[in-house]
Amino acid sequence: MRRRSYVSLGNQLFEVVDDWLDRGVDALMGRVAGLAERDGIIYVLQCGTPSLLALHTDGTLARCFPTVDVIDGHGIAIDDDGSIWIADRDAHAVYGYTAEGELFFQLGSSRTPYPHGPLSHPTLAVKVGSHVLVADGYAESRVSVFDLNGRLAHSWGEPGRGRGQFRTPHSLCVTHSGHVAVADRDNDRVQVFTETGTLLAVWDDFLRPMDLAEDAAGFLYVTEQVPRLSKWAPDGSLVGRCRIPSTSSHGLCLDGEGNIYLAEMLQSNVTRLVALSDVDDSDAAAHGQVSVEVHRPSAPAGGA
């Protein structure tokens, strides 16, 4: 019987489930790089073949995408139209696919980096309105914004440790309020900007943040390479934090039920954190009391 384990983020309790995938799906799993959710379907981006899978939340396969073929898939996002956006890191490219997996948009074509950018080892791309925002990435240390004709509209950021600078923008999330939160991985922080690049806030207290996802209430979830997962309020205050039972989670997404999915690259798996009922503040633990069980060993036979 599988031994259950639990974590909490603030008052929210989660059960950790790492064996929820159907056996047939498990055989298809490779190095999981990124995750995205749309209408109860979990999209799994992998380094290898198949590059993209779609899963039901019960762990069964919804579909494969044989037309999606990437070299080094790093990040994935789903836009409001259901289109799929993939950053292919070492191909120096960004792809847009329809919900059926047909390629309709491509940035970068030669599989070589562009001198002085943009597009040199990009990490994630997401379409917002009539523009595509790219975290760019392992070499350029900037956020680049393209129109749908592939023209660079503007960009911001440069290498460095100062405010507004980056050392590996590893992921980004456009929030419901229209802000752009960037996982500035090697500076151990998250920076929050307007969509035009004006710096709004710098959140510290991270160790190599990897990915970000926002829930319906505007709370931001951040995975770190510690391994660790934290939940942040829109004002930048920490709500809760837990240890992830893995080496680290390269990506994450949330479903409509409040469950969290973690991309476990080294384990070639997706871990599911199942949301349970909130911990009641009236519980003893909320008042600093912890339950204690004392087990006294039996006295040895014939002992004094």
Q: What is the rounded distance in angstroms from the CA atom of residue 213 to the CA atom of residue 219?
A: 8
Tokens 């009539």 appear where?
130
Question: The whole model's pTM is what?
Answer: 0.91
281 lies in some domain: no
When divided into structural domains, the chain yields a total of 1
Give residue 109's pLDDT.
Answer: 74
253 located within any domain: no
Q: Look at residue 238 and tell me if it is in a domain.
A: no
CATH number at residue 64: 2.120.10.30
Q: Fill in the DSSP letter of residue 299.
A: P
Supply the DSSP string of 107-130, one letter for each residue: E--SSSPPTT-S-SSEEEEEEETT
Indicate whether 185 belongs to any domain: yes
Range of the domain at 150: 21-223
Low-confidence ranges of the chain (pLDDT < 70): 1-3, 110, 115-117, 279-292, 299-304
The verdict on residue 53 lying in a domain is yes
Distance CA 76, CA 43 (A): 8
Half-sphere exposure of 30 (CA within 13 A, CB side): 15
76-98, pLDDT tens digit by residue? 999 999 999 999 999 999 999 99
Q: Going by C-beta distance under 8 Å and a sequence separation of 6 or more, which residues neighbour residue 261?
A: 35, 37, 42, 252, 253, 254, 255, 270, 271, 272, 273
According to the model, what pLDDT value does residue 112 have?
75
Q: For residue 41, give Cα distances in angstroms to 23, 61, 261.
A: 18, 10, 11
Does 27 map to a domain?
Answer: yes
Sequence-distant (6+) residues with CB within 8 A of 210 are: 170, 171, 183, 185, 222, 223, 224, 225, 248, 249, 250, 251
Query: Starting at the edge strand that comes first in sequence, how are the strands of the sheet with 84-88 ordered?
Result: 73-78, 84-88, 93-97, 103-107
Contact status, residue 68 vs residue 86, Cβ threshold 8 Å: yes
